[in-house]
Chain A
Amino acid sequence: MAHTNEFGSDRVKRGLAEMLKGGVIMDVVTAEQAKIAEDAGAVAVMALERVPADIRAQGGVARMSDPDLIEQIIATVSIPVMAKARIGHFVEAQVLEHLKVDYIDESEVLSPADYVNHIDKWNFTVPFVCGATNLGEALRRINEGAAMIRSKGEAGTGDVSEATKHIRKINGEIRALTSMSPDELYVAAKELQAPYALVAEVASTGKLPVVLFTAGGVATPADAAMMMQLGADGVFVGSGIFKSGNPEARAKAIVKAVAQFEDASVITDASRGLGEAMVGINVSDLPAPHRLAERGW
């Protein structure tokens, strides 16, 4: 007896993110780096032309990567491959879907293409991950069809303080919702600027309806484990790996620390002898226009 197959459903889109939980997603700019990431135990790779630290250093408009680069990376690894589209750039997203990337990151790390609208992500079969600095922003992205959320942090800095702020903020706002009485949720939805139905769902389940990773400034095994202890389902590491002294060893160590994020002996062991971490920039030294987390709304 034949059953119809349903492609691109909510469950299928959100489901891939569920499978990535407890894992580390690594930024890579070449097929060689992608292979190193896969061999080190990355659960997926993010294919891009420049890591955030270089985008920051070089300036200019940052866009979707060359399709050739993305295809080379897809051909080189068998773990899921993600790629970034600019905020609101639905045609870059169409290209990435055509290339059969496994997830699209509608990312503030690239220059926004639309300062009003994000991509209508329901129009796609491929799932999307979006950044958020607070619960309202996360729920607005989910309302537009995002199947995974990552807290934004401040990409390309190696300073974990913003990532900490955003994951604490999102989880704190979720906890606050769970303690409200039903008649208070209407105003909460108004204040969060998020749809009431999603707010009510979060209030009753105590979690986002999609997986929540964290990103932006994670540079060490201890940084990654802290994000997990603060309630992240997994971690994105951008510039932190391939801008460090020994990418291979650091990648493995971060994977190890995330898998046993509550075990100080494992995290200690993973932190030993990794060589230089990425140099880093203190977020407080960044002039406001250079703060990527403020892109997207």
Chain B
Amino acid sequence: MSREPIIGVLALQGDVREHLEVLEQLGARVVQVRLPAHLAEVDALVIPGGESSVIDKLTRMFELAEPISDRIADGMPVLGTCAGLIMLANDLTDGIDGQRTFRSLDITVQRNAFGAQVDSFETEVNLPEVSPRPLRAAFIRAPIVTRVGEGVRVLGQLADGRIVAVQSGNVIGVSFHPEVEGETQLHEYFLGVVREHLT
């Protein structure tokens, strides 16, 4: 490998700080992506948790939606958590009127699938390809994956079988927040995907 990859974190709204902290802890070079010029500098992108309807509006307002979608189609590795998973999905149920996504992953995602904040929870999720031990995960007004298209691999499910982590090529999406728990394995796995892509 020729150089250390630069990882962008989409920094318009959401838990940007937590993702930056985990990536920095792993020694990654990070850039906050707020404008198209920032996107051009990065080798890979993390889409944080936040409010998906707001991230959608802001990426369109600042002309990032199309370039992000194009870069992902060209093979740029991307990791989305929670709202980030929603942003990656081809199809969305229970979005607000006119809500759009980058359409980078052939799945259907249901927004706010667990209900109100009092139904949010922490648990452990088995992601055998990512980590030998279960990851501590916060599900905060979280979405779930209700349909998985061809070529999309399920990385993790809840005990009741609901799908909460998927991967297709260089695109990884999870419905929970390992970064809120200070878990680093998923980001480490993502950095592995990025390095492999660059060689």
Interface residues of chain B: helix, strand, loop or mixed (majority): loop
Please tell me if A97 contacts chain B, counting CB pairs below 8 Å: yes
Cβ-defined contact, B13 with A6, below 8 A: no
Cβ-defined contact, A100 with B14, below 8 A: no
Cβ-defined contact, B61 with A18, below 8 A: no
Chain A residues in 8 Å Cβ range of B124? 3
Chain A residues in 8 Å Cβ range of B12? 22, 259
Stretch at the interface among B65-73, B113-121, B164-172: B113-121
- Binary interface profile of B, 1-32, with partner A (CB < 8 Å = 1, else 0)? 00000000001111111100000000000000
Chain A residues in 8 Å Cβ range of B181? 11
Interface residues of B (CB under 8 A from A): 11-18, 34-35, 49-51, 53-54, 57-58, 61-62, 82-83, 94-97, 111-112, 115-126, 134, 138, 140-141, 159, 177, 180-181
Chain A residues in 8 Å Cβ range of B82? 19
Bound together, the chains give a CA A21 to CA B19 distance in angstroms of: 13
Across the two chains, which residue of chain B brings its CB closest to A233? B17
Across the two chains, which residue of chain B brings its CB closest to A102? B117
Instruction: Among B16, B18, B58, B126, find the residue whose CB has the most chain A CB atoms closer than 10 A.
Output: B58
Instruction: Give residues of chain A (30-87) contacting chain B, Cβ–Cβ below 8 Å.
Output: 38-39, 41-44, 74, 77-80
Bound together, the chains give a CA A39 to CA B35 distance in angstroms of: 22
Bound together, the chains give a CA A5 to CA B120 distance in angstroms of: 9
Total number of A residues with any Cβ neighbor in B under 8 Å: 43
Bound together, the chains give a CA A126 to CA B95 distance in angstroms of: 23
Cβ-defined contact, B180 with A125, below 8 A: no
Cβ-defined contact, B159 with A11, below 8 A: no
- Binary interface profile of A, 6-18, with partner B (CB < 8 Å = 1, else 0)? 1111011001101
Cβ-defined contact, A80 with B122, below 8 A: no
Across the two chains, which residue of chain A brings its CB closest to B124? A3
Q: Which 9 A-B pairs have the closest CB atoms?
A: A102-B117, A22-B13, A100-B116, A5-B121, A3-B124, A2-B159, A18-B15, A6-B122, A43-B51
Cβ-defined contact, A22 with B121, below 8 A: no
Chain A residues in 8 Å Cβ range of B53? 38, 41, 78-79
**Known contacts A22-B50, A38-B53, A43-B51; 20 further A-B pairs (Cβ under 8 A):** A1-B134, A3-B125, A6-B123, A11-B138, A15-B15, A15-B180, A19-B140, A23-B13, A23-B50, A23-B51, A41-B53, A41-B57, A43-B54, A78-B112, A79-B54, A80-B117, A100-B115, A102-B117, A126-B117, A256-B58
